[in-house]
């Protein structure tokens, strides 16, 4: 069964606008962690943001924020003031034990 679901294969956003990338997850664990990574065309995985299941506040890291809705099991990434350099693949991931399980990814394209 799919544990991490990203339903948007591709997204377009105008430069300087905000964009939301969707992520839903499935787990029966009470304690878990959710991550977002950016993967540019070079292939490296760049850590963006982390949300623990017991964190009461939504995580924020600069222009990145995570809209964590525990009851809905969603952990959407919000990028504010998009930049051309934000064009990349974005992956949502959930920790399962020691392992990190990734969603299918969303390809974000920022238009000038």
Partner 1 sequence: GAVVSQHPSWVICKSGTSVKIECRSLDFQATTMFWYRQFPKQSLMLMATSNEGSKATYEQGVEKDKFLINHASLTLSTLTVTSAHPEDSSFYICSARVVSGRMGFGGELFFGEGSRLTVL
Residue 58 neighbours by CB under 8 Å, 6+ apart:
51, 65, 66, 67, 68
Burial category of 57 from C-beta neighbours within 10 Å (exposed 0-12, middle 13-18, buried 19 and up): exposed
Nearer to partner 1 among residue 39 and residue 74 (C-beta): 39
Contacts with partner 1 by CB under 8 A lie at 31-33, 35, 37, 42-45, 47, 50, 52, 89, 91, 95, 97-105, 107
- Smallest gap, in angstroms, from Cβ of residue 103 to partner 1? 6
Whichever of 17 and 45 has its CB closer to partner 1, that residue is: 45
Question: Is the CB of 16 or the CB of 60 nearer to partner 1?
Answer: 60
Task: Please report, in angstroms and rounded to a whole number, the separation of the first and last CA atoms in the chain.
Answer: 39
């Amino acid at each position: 069964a799919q544990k991490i679901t990203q339903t948007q294969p591709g997204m377009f956003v105008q430069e300087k606008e905000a964009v939301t990338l969707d992520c839903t997850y499935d787990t029966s664990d009470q304690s878990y962690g959710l991550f977002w990574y950016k993967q540019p065309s070079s292939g490296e995985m760049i850590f963006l943001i982390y949300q623990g299941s017991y964190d009461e506040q939504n995580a924020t890291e600069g222009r990145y924020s995570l809209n964590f809705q525990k009851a809905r099991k969603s952990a959407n990434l919000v990028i504010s003031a998009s930049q051309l350099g934000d064009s990349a693949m974005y992956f949502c991931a959930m920790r399962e034990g020691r392992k990190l399980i990734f969603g299918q990814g969303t390809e974000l394209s920022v238009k000038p």
